[in-house]
Amino acid sequence: MSPTVNIEKLRFQYDAGADFELRIEQLGLQAGKSYLLFGRSGLGKTTLLNLMAGVLRPNSGHIEICGTDLASLSRRATDRFRGDNIGFIFQTLNLIPWLSARDNVELALTFSPERRARLTASLADSLAELFDRLDLDYALADVKARQLSIGQQQRVSAARALIGAPPLLLADEPTSALDAANTERFLTLLQDMMEKSRQTLMVVSHDRHIQSYFDEVIEIEQLLTGGRA
């Protein structure tokens, strides 16, 4: 079985000759497993996520997601591919504040007919099930995102990342805005959900305390062999 993510001999610079160069010799993420990419900020986490999203293109090397080399896709196809195959959860402010919780989740299907097609139940049922599994009161579905608490917002954004079952979930500091209790609750729910599906989860965080929730922990400083040149 091929890995969900396979990165090889990656080189990336924002500008030719710039100080910063991101290098990854090899990174493989197996389907159905959860990974914590651990390290302090400023090492290129955001750059790596943008590369995996296909928003940035490497200078050399390969990024394969679900068996597709991102370099083989056009810009437009990359956008579609990202929508179909990757669910994102960010630090904060990653919901559209003027949309309801329901609309925010459904937005993931707007740009990806494939994810819509993957729904096994009706949209309303899928939504209700996700809310239920994420311990969200379904009555919140029609509340504007900006009116939800941070903890609720984070779970809604998890629901958005999970709906339509994209094979890969990428999360950037998903717990940094949450208190200890909410962090534990959120990660437990996430862990619980990942076990049931065969999705791959990669969380990028500087918080060592959460490592017990993951199958594997990768030190960014070891991964990014280059770092700052």
Partner 1 sequence: MGMSVSRLLMRSMLDRWFSLGLVVFSMALAVGLFLSVQNVQKMTRANFENSVANVDLVVAARGSEIQILLNSVFGIGQSAALVTAESMEEVSRLPDVAWLVPLSLGDSHRGFRVIGTNNEMFEHAMPGSTNNHLRFADVLDAVIGKDVSDTLGYQLGDKLTLQHGVGAYGADHDDMPLQVAGIMQKTGTPFDRAIFIPVEASEALHLGWQGGRRVANIAPPHDVHDDHDEHDEHHEHDAHDEHEAHDEHDHSGGLDAIDAIFVGLKDKRALIRVQRDVANLETESLMAVVPGVALSRIWQIIGNVDIAFRMINLLILALALLSMVALTLANMENRRREMATLRALGAAPLTLVGLMVAEAALLAAGAAFLGYLAAAGFALSAHMIFLSDFGFVLHLPPLTDGVMMGVYLVPAAVLANLFAIFRIYRATLNDGIMVQR
Q: For residues 156 and 185, which CB has a smaller minimum distance to partner 1 in the complex?
A: 156
117 binds partner 1 (CB under 8 A): no
101 binds partner 1 (CB under 8 A): no
Within 13-72, strands assigned E span 22-29, 34-38, 60-65, 68-69
Interhelix angle for 101-110 vs 150-162, to 10°?
A: 30
Containing 10, the helix (H) or strand (E) segment is strand 5-12
- From candidates 37, 70, 109, 159, binder to partner 1 by CB under 8 A: 109
Instruction: Quote the least distance from Cβ 45 to partner 1, whole Å.
Output: 10
98 binds partner 1 (CB under 8 A): yes
Interface segment toward partner 1; rule CB under 8 A; list 25-33, 103-111, 184-192, 199-207: 103-111
Q: For residues 50 and 197, which CB has a smaller minimum distance to partner 1 in the complex?
A: 50
In sequence order, the β-bridge partners of residue 68 are 65
167 binds partner 1 (CB under 8 A): no
- The count of other CB atoms within 10 Å of the CB of residue 73 is 16
Three-state DSSP class for residue 172: strand
Instruction: Quote the least distance from Cβ 96 to partner 1, whole Å.
Output: 6
Instruction: Quote the least distance from Cβ 180 to partner 1, whole Å.
Output: 22
Cα 99 to Cα 96: distance, rounded to the nearest angstrom? 6
- The count of other CB atoms within 10 Å of the CB of residue 69 is 11
Nearest by Cα to 31 from 1, 63, 70, 56: 1
Instruction: Quote the least distance from Cβ 201 to partner 1, whole Å.
Output: 16
64 binds partner 1 (CB under 8 A): no
Cα–Cα separations (whole angstroms), residue 217 to 31, 110, 129 = 15, 33, 30
75 binds partner 1 (CB under 8 A): yes
- The count of other CB atoms within 10 Å of the CB of residue 95 is 24
Instruction: Quote the least distance from Cβ 56 to partner 1, whole Å.
Output: 6
80 binds partner 1 (CB under 8 A): yes
Q: Which residues 6+ apart lie within 8 Å of 58 measured at CB?
A: 10, 11, 12, 51, 71
Instruction: Quote the least distance from Cβ 106 to partner 1, whole Å.
Output: 5
207 binds partner 1 (CB under 8 A): no
Q: Enumerate residues 23-62 that contact partner 1 by CB under 8 A.
A: 46, 49-50, 53, 55-56
Contact footprint for partner 1 (CB under 8 A): 46, 49-50, 53, 55-56, 75-76, 79-84, 88, 90, 93-99, 103, 106-112, 116, 123, 160, 172
